[in-house]
Amino acid sequence: MDRRKRKTQKGITAVFYQLLKEKSYEEISVSQICQIADINRGTFYLHFIDKDDLLEKSIADEMQRLVEYCEQNGETDNQKKLEKTFEYITEHREKLKRLLNADKQGFFTQFQIDYLLEQLTGQSHLTSLFFAHGIVGLLEYYLLNDISKIEISQELEKITQLLR
């Protein structure tokens, strides 16, 4: 993708995040995004099918950053990756919380589950599925509720002991 397209997409996404701070997802319109980003609707639709596509791509980008963060040191231990995941989520909590609240289609959850299923090897598929859903449920609960990093770390330690 050329530089101008990346710049335009980043601008649209930045406006989208800005609006998510101020309004619910349902209250945001493509027209508002275009007006604030100073682009016409045609430009928006060159980059995104609709508002849901913008949300899905925003979530995919965040999940890709999360994966890169977790794997940046070539870490292969599942417990360390899980700790890195919650580290990243803690650092980006507000942005991820807004995306999760906006996500009525379950993109956020599905990206996480798919990634975890790739990582959870050594168990049966059903056991991996059980742990993936449980970890994602815990992750989402952590994002949406007032739980301390210490409390979640202690719980993760217990959970990862079960994975061994």
Say whether both 102 and 25 belong to one domain. no
pLDDT tens for each residue of the chain, 164 residues long? 689 889 999 999 999 999 999 999 999 999 999 999 999 999 999 999 999 999 999 999 999 998 888 878 666 676 777 778 888 888 999 999 999 999 999 999 999 999 888 887 778 889 889 888 988 998 899 888 888 878 887 887 787 777 66
Q: Which residue has the tokens 């275009």?
A: 34
CATH number at residue 41: 1.10.10.60
Say whether both 115 and 154 belong to one domain. yes
Global pTM reads: 0.84
Say whether both 39 and 70 belong to one domain. no
- Work out whether the CA dihedral 110, 116, 119, 123 comes out positive or negative: negative
- How many domains are contained in the chain? 2
Q: Which helix (H) or strand (E) holds 163?
A: helix 149-163
Say whether both 38 and 92 belong to one domain. no
Q: Which helix (H) or strand (E) holds 114?
A: helix 107-119
For the stretch 65-70, contacts whose Cβ atoms lie closer than 8 Å and that sit 24 or more positions apart, written own/partner, are 67/115
Say whether both 75 and 7 belong to one domain. no
Say whether both 25 and 103 belong to one domain. no
**pLDDT score recorded for residue 164:** 62
Say whether both 14 and 78 belong to one domain. no
Say whether both 133 and 59 belong to one domain. yes
Say whether both 156 and 128 belong to one domain. yes
Would you call 145 exposed, middle or buried from its count of C-beta atoms within 10 A (0-12, 13-18, 19+)?
A: exposed
Owning domain of residue 11 = 3-48
Say whether both 59 and 44 belong to one domain. no
